[in-house]
Structure formats: structure tokens, C-alpha cells
Amino acid sequence: MAIPVQTGSDARAPGARSTFRDVTLVQWNAFFATFLGWALNGFDFSILSFLLIDIEHSFTVDKALAGALGTVTLLFRLVGGLSAGTAADRFGRKSPLVLSILWLSLFSLLSGFSTSYAMLFGFRALFGIGMGGVWAAGMPLALEHWPDHLRGVASGLLAGGFYWGYMLAAVVFQVLYPLVNEPNGPGWRAFFWLGATPALLAFWILARVKESPVWLARRSQLKDSNQRDGLSILRVFRRDLVATTLQTSLLMGVFMMSYYSITFWYPTFLREASLPTIQYLVALNLGGIMGAALWGRVSETRAGRRGAATLAALIGVLVIPIFVGPHSPMTLLLGALLMGACGMGVYGIVPSYLTERFPTATRSVGPGFAYHAGAALGSVTPAFVGALQDRGVRLPGAMAGCILVSGVLVAGMIWLGPETRGRHFTPSA
């Protein structure tokens, strides 16, 4: 007998009023498993950007090699998205999520014990595998639990988790760095050791989080019909899904171009403008948190996923002059908040949109591949902004141009795919 899919979605039509009263404890547990996992990913990844100068001095490497530590993590996220995503489609979402969290916790811890640059480089590459796995396994686990009419809202809150992690990294660095950077202290290594704390979350997930009801229903359906799914990574490149895979991957590429155009050189922009970085970075990421929630909610209205993304991206383009323009500190602070709310907040639609584009059999590996392939494509953006500066373009102009182009591309390319608002998750779809 097939297992009924209990997601709480059947009683609501698309566009129905959202209310958290419809969410059960089981669904909240699945949500927090992914939200906290992604937030701690944000902390572990972002803390590196605060430690680059210390790492340069410790291992006597130049800025390019220090920056490569971030690049290799982004590239290996694709490996994690493919491996954990394939496993999550075959064996369930929960176990690959737990293993990915334990994996990244281990290699964050080992990063703090690195005795050479090469060792640290290897550990950060392996860390990226776990980071990619958390997204690929966690997002479908949470969103397959939640009611259909609240999926956009949950998507926005989940996407904001990474920005919470970034702000946590900034605050922890500000408070802890003076304490650990004393003579004979652990220095930068202590922050990587802190990155092992997500392992505690893994044990809570094992005890309190239930497997996706949609995945369980598909497993029961296959068992009843004496069938078995093939490797989902192969399925996303077959004729019926290859166009979806390519379009979502390219779309995520321009999303990532936009994100890196906004964030990567922003601390340098602030330093060149003789502005204190912490409050502007907090404003940018706080705006991202609020914007992701806002646009996730808007995506449940008639605007849909595509309309919400278009509005957010284009408003972000309009904000460029007060984000990197020659204005007063207060105007630039407002610009950071608004750019976070729109240019970064547009990510609020991403988890729901990607998971809705792929059927249950490929709902982990499809979005996992698209998201992290996009990250790999977008990873060239920081170098491109740097190259523009080498050719004589001032940093504000280089950032503004890349934000403009990528924002317009986001607004346009999302219309190359279908609207997915209200799509119902079933074992076969």
C-alpha cells in the first residue's frame, strides 16, 4: 500500500493566505534542520574572509593564493551537490544531510590544524563537498515537508539562513579575535575549530527530524510496482530534463554573478572610502535576511516566483547609485540595506523555484547540480571585477557595471522557464 503524502498542502489553493498555524512540529523540525545547517554553513564559509591576512602571514603566500581558498571551496561545492544529491534521491534526504554536516564539521576542525598552505587548501576543498551536500539534501527535506501554499515563505526564510551565518561570523570575529590573537594564542585557527560545532546539529537531526514524506511515498510506490529508480544524476541529463538542468544552471550562474558583484569587493570599497566595515556589512546582510523573507512571501502572490525575482533584481539595479556612489555615510548605509533587501534578497525564491522545477526522483541532485554549477560559473566574477580595475576602471564603477548587467540577466533569464508557484509535490512529480 502506498504511503499517503502528508505535507498539509491539499486544503489550500495556490495564492491562499499563508499562516504558520498550518505548520506542524514535524514540519518545523525539518525546516530548522535545514535552516540551521545552512546558517552554520554561512558562518564556516564567511569566517575565512576575515582571516585571509592572518593566513597570508602564517604561510607566506600572496593574496591570490589566499583568495584561492575561497574559490576551491566554491568549486568543490559542486562535487558535494552531485554526490549528496544523488544519495538523497536514492536513500532519502535525511541521512545525506547528516553526513554532509558531519563532513564539513570535520574538515573545518582539521583546517585549524593545518601546518602548510597546501594542507589548508586541501582541507578547504574537502570542506566544500560538505557545504554542497547540505544544500542539496537539506532544501528538499524541508520543502517537501512544508505545505504547498507556504513553500515560498519557507524558501525565503531558508535562503536568509546564509546571511545570518555571515553576520554571526562578523560578530564572532569582532568579539573573539582580540582574545585569541595574543602571543602564543591559537589566532586564526580557533575560528576554524569553532566550525566543528555543526556536528552537534547532526545528532539533533538524527533524533528529532523525520524523513521527507514525499520521498517515502515515492519509495513505497516503487516498491509496490516492483521498480527501482536509476541514478538521478544521469536522469537530469536525459531528454526530458536536460533543458531544465541547463536553464536552471545558467540562471543560478547569473544569480551568483549578481551576489559576488555585490559582496566580494564591497569590504574593499568601504575601506577605500575610509568607512568602518562592520556596520555596513551587517546592514547589507540584515537587508538580505529581510528581503529574502519578503520576496519569498511575494512569490506566493499573483507575481509568482518569476515576478518576485524580476522585481527584486530590477529594484536592486535602481539602488546601485546609493550603494557604491559618492554619497554621505548615512546614504551609503541605506544603500547597503536596500541592496541587501533586493539584490541579495532575490535569493528568497531560489530554494522553492529550484525544487519545484525537478520531479521527486531528482529533486536533490537536480537543484544541487544547478545551484552549485551556478556557483562555479559565478566564481569568475570577483576576478573579472579585479581585471576591470587593472584596466583602469575604478572599483565603484566596476562593481556598478557588474551589478547592473547581472541584475538585468536575472530578471530576464528567469522567464525562460515556467512559473512554478503552487506546484504540488507528489511521488512522481
Q: Which helix (H) or strand (E) holds 101?
A: helix 94-111
pTM of the model: 0.89
CA pair distance 295, 285, nearest whole angstrom: 15
- Tell me how crowded residue 52 is: count the other CB atoms within 10 A of its CB: 17
Among the listed residues 153, 138, 135, 127, the one whose alpha carbon sits nearest the alpha carbon of residue 47: 127
Task: Read off the pLDDT of residues 149-203 as tens digits, 9 standing for 90 and up.
Answer: 899 999 999 999 999 998 898 889 888 988 888 776 688 999 999 989 999 999 9
CA pair distance 121, 194, nearest whole angstrom: 18
Instruction: Give the per-residue pLDDT at 326.
Output: 86
Burial label for 54, CB within 10 Å (0-12, 13-18, 19+), is middle
Query: Same CATH topology for 25-228 and 242-357+380-420?
Result: yes
CA pair distance 162, 85, nearest whole angstrom: 19
| CATH level 3 topology of 242-357+380-420 | Growth Hormone; Chain: A; (1.20.1250)
pLDDT exceeds cutoff 60 at 11: no
Among the listed residues 84, 104, 107, 97, the one whose alpha carbon sits nearest the alpha carbon of residue 204: 97
Q: Backbone phi, then psi, for 126, in 5-degree steps?
A: -65, -35
Task: Read off the pLDDT of residues 236-291 as tens digits, 9 standing for 90 and up.
Answer: 999 999 999 999 999 999 999 999 999 888 888 888 888 888 899 999 999 999 99
Indicate the Cα dihedral angle 131, 26, 90, 75, nearest 10°.
-10
Domain 25-228, architecture per CATH: Up-down Bundle (1.20)
pLDDT exceeds cutoff 60 at 12: no
Percent of the chain with pLDDT over 70: 95
Domain residue ranges in the chain: 25-228, 242-357+380-420
Which stretch of 7-16, 131-140, 405-414 has the lowest confidence by average pLDDT? 7-16
Alpha-helix residue ranges (DSSP H) falling in 92-197: 94-111, 117-145, 151-159, 161-180, 189-194
CA pair distance 321, 332, nearest whole angstrom: 9
Task: Read off the pLDDT of residues 52-70 as tens digits, 9 standing for 90 and up.
Answer: 888 888 898 877 787 788 8
Percent of the chain with pLDDT over 90: 67
Instruction: Give the per-residue pLDDT at 8.
Output: 46
